[in-house]
């Protein structure tokens, strides 16, 4: 049993010292344990005393039995358990954000001196809801303290991190006085493990915020430019090459021949420690914990902004983050500089690594595992790091916890062999970027390409840096179809973003590639209009009248997936489903066990109903048992069980509503 006694005492202590009358609202969807002392409102909110509500919920959670996954050790060598999981990208700051005081503003300190934005305490309360949906692994986003924003958004870029180990102080809940943010994070992870969740830490070890906590002591770990050149700083273009060209050796040779490149190189400067070590150390003694502004004022230099690792990219300069310098040497002997070759040390490694930096990053990752009991990492932009360093980071984590799993963002499946040598368990793939064409051919191609695949990719309808899937042709119908069918694709790891279970339209964080029109996803009357959940004060729509319907459907589908997890893990048990014509809008797979088989089929036409004829010649006769009965056990549009009859050609004709996912079971009795 998990012990929340310390947290409950802290909440009750805070209540005794406060006589305020609360007009504090929560979504009714958060009331997973039946708290009855509040007042239900017509808009699906609930008025509660926050002290009583959170104490009640924590007490009920203490009384739940420990999940088997929480007490047993993970199975699978070096994190291979991740291949059977269902991932959920938990945006800590926004997932439990709510306008509790009804002031129409999401505030760090509302009328009651409490947080409207997300906290670890509120995230603990939502664990039973996520558990019900069938999610098994949480990927924690927005965990670290960020630099100040340098744009019109409320927060800096998600990877403008102040320090790789500094947890965002705003995630600490004021209802828990005396418990610092690190303790509250430990309690959250302990509670998540109690409910059977595995926890991955999302971070990027390739860059930090431009004004970060390492600058003063280790200025030689970063690239610097003359302060006067900051406004004119841009990535040089290369004549004769196409847009968004990958940095090959030949392309980089042309890059160094450009006049713009020479101008670009002249903007870089040596760091102040390299220029005058004795003088800088003396200055630093007088200016401990100095900021970037102080360094700029004294030395007339600033940290270099980031730009794309592709040549002739149309992406804008990333002004809020700066790139870490992993090597002392470089192609040209001059002040350390960034170009597309030095930006890609995985492709262009040098010979003199900055060992102190490498050791620091390895130690940071190991510390997170040791201090907070993380089960692994979701590493963004690992391609911006030397492959040897990625391997060393993973090894240092597994010294602390042998079963640490690591997922990296990489859209090129062919590169998985390289990542696997480094110890990576899975890559993100490009599913969420490719599957939204009008007739869903890309989705169908992706699904069937997973048969006998050598790598584990994420099956995602959206990533944190893409538009919401509800914004594409087919809208919510498309979103549900992909959400459910992704649970039944071979050699994939289902992946969901925060807000998908409420079918959000507001984007999380649009990458520069994403069309700016998606910033207008919400009507002007919505307070979240023109905002993005990762970089603005925002919240998710828990007050939809059908919110629990989608959670219930996820629960049914994930339970069916769990029953056939053994079959889905084996190559030989997956049989593709074929239809009358190659362009029929259907996707399907059959997974077989000794005496039964599961058949999952989706109508990927999210705008029209279709009659799909499921051909059995490559399926029924490959089963390892003599089948006698076929019946529909669940559907996204019909929850009832039905017997299925074959036509005269021994095929299965079935009518599907637009975007409908049906699950059939074939049994020998």
377 in a domain, yes or no? Answer: yes
For residues 538 and 489, membership in a common domain is answered with yes
Q: At what angle do helices 355-372 and 387-400 cross, to 10 degrees?
A: 30
pLDDT at 77: 72
Give the domain range for residue 422: 75-208+357-558
Q: Rounded mean pLDDT of 181-203? A: 96
Predicted local distance difference test score (pLDDT) of residue 284: 92
Does a structural domain hold residue 374?
Answer: yes
In a domain, 65, yes or no: no
Burial class (CB in 10 A: 0-12, 13-18, 19+), 531: buried
Domain match, 413 and 455 both: yes
The answer on 152 and 215 residing in a single domain is no
Q: Decide: 358 and 345 in contact? Cβ < 8 Å.
A: no
State yes or no: pLDDT of 400 exceeds 90.
yes
CA distance readout (Å), 524 to 51, 520, 521, 545: 35, 8, 9, 22
Domain end call among 307, 333, 350? 350
533 and 455 belong to one structural domain: yes
Does the structure show a pLDDT above 80 at 384? Answer: yes
Last residue of a domain, one of 498, 529, 558: 558
Asked whether residue 137 is assigned to any structural domain, the reply reads yes
pLDDT of 74 higher than 70: no
Same domain for 387 and 415, yes or no, is yes
- Mean pLDDT for the stretch of residues 642-654: 87
Same domain, 362 and 509: yes
Whether 430 is covered by a domain: the verdict is yes
Please tell me whether residues 79 and 179 are part of one structural domain.
Answer: yes
The pLDDT of residue 303 is above 80 = yes
Same domain as 294, residue 240:
yes
pLDDT of residue 256: 96
- Residue 90: is its pLDDT beyond 80? yes
Give the CATH number, domain containing residue 130.
3.20.20.80
Are 531 and 641 within one domain? no
Q: What is the reported pLDDT for 73?
A: 55
Residue that finishes a domain, picked among 558, 588, 621: 558
Residue 404 tokens read as: 């640490």
pTM, 2 dp:
0.95
- Find the range with the poorest average confidence among 63-72, 149-158, 383-392, 457-466: 63-72
Nearest to 155 by CA among 506, 532, 540: 532
> Do 519 and 388 sit in the same domain of this protein?
yes
* Rounded-to-integer distance, Cα 16 and Cα 269, Å: 58
Structure confidence at residue 620 (pLDDT): 82
Q: Structure tokens of 15? A: 């209540």
Q: Which of 518, 430, 436, 532 is nearest to 479 (CA)?
A: 436
List pLDDT tens digits, range 217-237: 999 999 999 999 999 999 999
Tell me, yes or no, whether 226 and 168 share the same domain: no
Predicted confidence (pLDDT) per residue in 533-570, tens digit: 999 999 999 999 999 999 999 999 999 999 999 888 88
Residue 68 has pLDDT above 70, yes or no: no
pLDDT given for residue 533 in this prediction: 93
Mean pLDDT of 492-499: 96
Average pLDDT over residues 574-591: 92
The neighbouring-strand residues paired with 643 are 631
Residues 332 and 273 both lie in one domain: yes
Mean pLDDT of 193-201: 95
**Local confidence band at 71 (pLDDT 50, 70, 90 cut-offs):** low
Pick the range with the lowest mean pLDDT from 158-162, 251-255, 486-490, 642-646. 642-646
| CATH of residue 603 | 2.60.40.1180
- 47 in any annotated domain: no
Residue 633: predicted pLDDT: 95
Does any domain span residue 32? no
Q: What mean pLDDT is reported for the chain?
A: 92
- Calculate what percentage of the chain has a pLDDT beyond 90: 76
3-class secondary structure, 8: helix
In-domain check, residue 50: no
Total domains present in the chain: 3
């Amino acid at each position: 049993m998990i012990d929340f006694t310390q947290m409950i005492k802290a909440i009750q202590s805070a209540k005794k010292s406060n006589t305020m009358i609360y007009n504090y609202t929560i979504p009714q969807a958060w009331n997973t344990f039946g708290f009855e002392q509040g007042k239900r409102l017509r808009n699906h909110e609930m008025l509660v005393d926050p002290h009583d509500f959170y104490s009640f919920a924590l007490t009920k959670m203490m009384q739940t039995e420990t999940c088997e996954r929480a007490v047993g050790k993970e199975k699978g060598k070096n994190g291979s358990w991740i291949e059977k999981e269902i991932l959920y990208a938990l945006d800590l700051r926004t997932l439990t954000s709510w306008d509790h005081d009804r002031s129409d503003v999401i505030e760090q300190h509302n009328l009651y001196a409490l947080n409207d934005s997300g906290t670890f305490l509120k995230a603990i309360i939502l664990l039973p809801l996520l558990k019900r949906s069938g999610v098994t692994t949480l990927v924690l986003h927005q965990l670290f303290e960020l630099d100040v924003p340098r744009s019109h958004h409320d927060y800096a870029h998600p990877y403008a991190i102040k320090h790789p180990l500094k947890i965002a102080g705003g995630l600490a809940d004021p209802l828990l006085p005396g418990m610092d943010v690190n303790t509250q994070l430990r309690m959250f992870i302990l509670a998540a493990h109690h409910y059977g969740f595995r926890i991955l830490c999302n971070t990027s070890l390739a860059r930090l915020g431009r004004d970060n906590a390492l600058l003063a002591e280790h200025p030689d770990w970063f690239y610097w430019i003359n302060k006067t050149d900051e406004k004119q700083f841009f990535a040089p273009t290369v004549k004769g090459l196409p847009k968004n060209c990958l940095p090959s050796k030949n392309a980089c040779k042309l890059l160094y021949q450009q006049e713009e490149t020479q101008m670009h190189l002249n903007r870089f400067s040596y760091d102040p420690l390299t220029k005058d070590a004795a003088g800088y150390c003396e200055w630093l003694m007088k200016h401990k914990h100095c900021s970037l502004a102080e360094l700029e004022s004294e030395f007339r230099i600033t940290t270099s902004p980031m730009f794309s690792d592709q040549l002739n990219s149309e992406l804008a300069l990333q002004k809020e983050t700066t790139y870490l310098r992993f090597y002392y040497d470089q192609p040209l002997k001059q002040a350390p500089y960034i170009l597309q070759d030095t930006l890609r040390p995985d492709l262009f490694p040098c010979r003199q690594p900055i060992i102190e930096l490498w050791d620091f990053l390895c130690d940071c990752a190991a510390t997170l595992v040791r201090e907070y009991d993380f089960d692994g990492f979701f590493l963004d932009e690992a391609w911006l790091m030397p492959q040897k360093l990625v391997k060393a980071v993973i090894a240092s984590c597994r010294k602390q916890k042998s079963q640490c799993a690591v997922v990296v963002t990489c859209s090129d499946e062919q590169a998985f062999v390289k990542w696997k040598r480094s110890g990576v368990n899975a890559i993100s793939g490009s599913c969420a970027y490719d599957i939204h064409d009008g007739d869903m051919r890309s989705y169908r191609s992706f699904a069937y390409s997973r048969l006998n695949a050598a790598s584990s990719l994420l099956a995602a309808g959206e990533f944190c840096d893409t538009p919401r899937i509800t914004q594409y042709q087919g809208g919510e119908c498309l979103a549900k179809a992909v959400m459910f069918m992704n649970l039944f694709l071979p050699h994939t790891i289902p992946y969901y973003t925060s807000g998908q279970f409420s079918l959000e339209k507001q984007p999380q964080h649009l990458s520069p590639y994403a069309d700016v029109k998606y910033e207008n996803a919400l009507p002007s009357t919505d307070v979240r209009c023109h905002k993005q959940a990762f970089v603005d004060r925002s919240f998710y729509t828990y007050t939809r009248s059908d919110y629990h319907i989608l959670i219930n459907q996820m629960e049914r589908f994930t339970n069916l997936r769990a029953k056939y997890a053994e079959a889905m893990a084996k190559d030989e048990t997956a049989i593709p489903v074929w239809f009358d014509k190659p362009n029929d809008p259907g996707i399907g797979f059959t997974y077989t066990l000794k005496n039964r088989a599961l058949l999952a089929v989706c109508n990927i036409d999210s705008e029209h109903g279709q009659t799909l004829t499921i051909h059995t010649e490559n399926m029924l006769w490959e089963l390892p048992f003599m089948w006698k009965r076929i019946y529909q056990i669940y559907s996204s549009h019909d929850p009832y069980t039905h017997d299925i009859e074959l036509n005269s050609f021994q095929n299965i004709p079935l009518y599907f509503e637009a975007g409908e996912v049906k699950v059939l079971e074939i049994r020998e009795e």
